[in-house]
Amino acid sequence: MTRLIFILTLLFAGILTRAHAAELPATKAEIAHLFATLESSNCQFNRNGTWHSSKEASAHGYQIQISARQRSCSDR
């Protein structure tokens, strides 16, 4: 569980950075791997009093990543 929390921390720290336009293929592969690990974790996530499956949490994180990338590209 500690490892999963560490992975999620790294994942969301990466999402919040604004260097998405210069992502290397290895970085994209690592992010995809983190989402896959999250999705297959079978953990439950409580956000604002509502429980979500690991699949829902992964999909939500992926959407946040896409939004952050779009904002980063439009700021240039």
In whole angstroms, give the CA distance from residue 64 to residue 53.
17
The better pLDDT of the pair 15, 66 is held by 66
Q: How many CB atoms lie within 10 A of CB 57?
A: 19
CA proximity to 13, closest of 37, 34, 42: 34
Res 3 pLDDT > 90 = no
CB atoms within 10 A of CB 43: 15
Q: What tens digit of pLDDT does each residue of 11-28 get? A: 776 665 555 556 688 888
Give pTM, 2 decimals: 0.59
Cβ distance 72 to 20 under 8 Å?
Answer: yes
pLDDT on residue 54: 93
What's the mean pLDDT in 53-73? 85
